[in-house]
Amino acid sequence: MKLFLKPYIYKLKIFRGFEIFLGLLFLISAVLKIVEINRFCVQIYAYGVIAQKDILPWIATTTILIEVSLSFFFLFSFPYRKLTMGINLAMLSVFTSLIIYAWIFNDLENCGCFGKIEIGPVESIIKNIILILISFACFLGVRPVEEDTFRGYKNVIKFYLPLLLLLVTTLIICIQQLQSEQFQKVNQDKDSNSPYMNMIVDIDGDVYNLGEGEYLIALLSFGCDHCIQEAPKINEYMIRNDIPKVIALCLEESVEEKEEFMKKVQPLFPISSLGNRVRLFLSLIGKEPPRLVYLKQGEIIKYWDYDLPTLDEIIKETIK
């Protein structure tokens, strides 16, 4: 442990250059994740390691804070280099292992390392191996210096207080970004685990209070080919007046996707666009859309994933 708690300087200037490069890379990675933190949560879920969706924001935020800390220490020449470079090596090794696992077992397509910029698993693994080699070279390319030089209040003023301010600012921004994906809610006095209990939806002036009455909620993505294939079943539901009201909540990642969906499906059912709120959409579906949810007084009575039920199945389930 004493090895990591000693100050070091680099034997050659090239290692300081590597350290600055790592700091800039982590800074870019953190900023891109912050901007798209809700999408980053979805990308973490795609790894297939975390099953509980409610902890994804905490994991995403923690990852960002670690990257911001390492970036700060690398760029501002924090003297305890074996400690920071050791943490960096451990983190890169863990991330690389997760990418390999998700690639093999869950068909991972995008590692999520740089937010919305898509990088495939093979490219990401190669990138991480290069970064591990650079970090390992920096770990070995140091020599110790007098410890007293870096002790005392100077470190507090130069490193710890600015880092604390940076982390608090980053945390506040992350929380604001995460809270941006919310529905308008009512009936706050009702206590339920159902996400629909306090939810109201306004579609072209028609207000649907999902916490009251019965509903069939179709969760679709405008850009999902399978959703387009299944959506005509929802049109069939509209011919019956004795089943619950049908509305769709749709993920809209681009205007073009929505126009293509509307052209192919010609929906007869009311649609509320969720916009590009991918984490909100993820919290309402299973692993892949579409999902149809049967609600009664805000509570989920039954749901169907991926392959939507026929009209006969809906009638059998809702008319009793």
Which of 277, 271, 159 lies closest to 219, judged by CA?
271
The pTM score is 0.84
Measure the CA–CA gap between 213 and 229, rounded to whole angstroms: 29
Tokens representing 7? 């100050």
Beta bridge partners of 215: 245, 295
AA identity, residue 205: G
Taken as a whole, the chain contains a residue count of: 320
* Residue in this structure with the two tokens 């909540």, named with its chain if needed: 249
Residue 147: the pLDDT is 62
If we measure between CA atoms, which residue out of 305, 299, 302 comes closest to residue 187?
299
Q: What is each CA distance from 217 to 80, 100, 248, 267, in whole angstroms?
A: 55, 36, 6, 14
The two tokens of residue 170 are: 């980053």
- Any idea which fold 200-318 has? Glutaredoxin (3.40.30)
pLDDT tens for each residue of the chain, 320 residues long:
667 778 888 999 999 999 999 999 999 999 999 999 999 999 999 898 988 888 999 999 999 999 999 999 999 999 889 999 999 999 999 999 999 999 999 889 888 888 888 899 999 999 999 999 999 999 999 998 876 555 656 666 778 889 999 999 999 999 999 987 765 555 444 555 788 888 889 898 889 999 889 999 999 999 999 999 999 999 999 988 889 999 999 999 889 999 999 999 999 999 999 988 898 899 899 888 999 999 998 899 999 999 999 999 998 888 76
Q: Where in the chain is the domain with CATH 3.40.30.10?
A: 200-318
Q: Give the position of tokens 């919305």.
A: 116
pLDDT at 200: 87
Contact (CB, 8 A) for 112 and 99: no
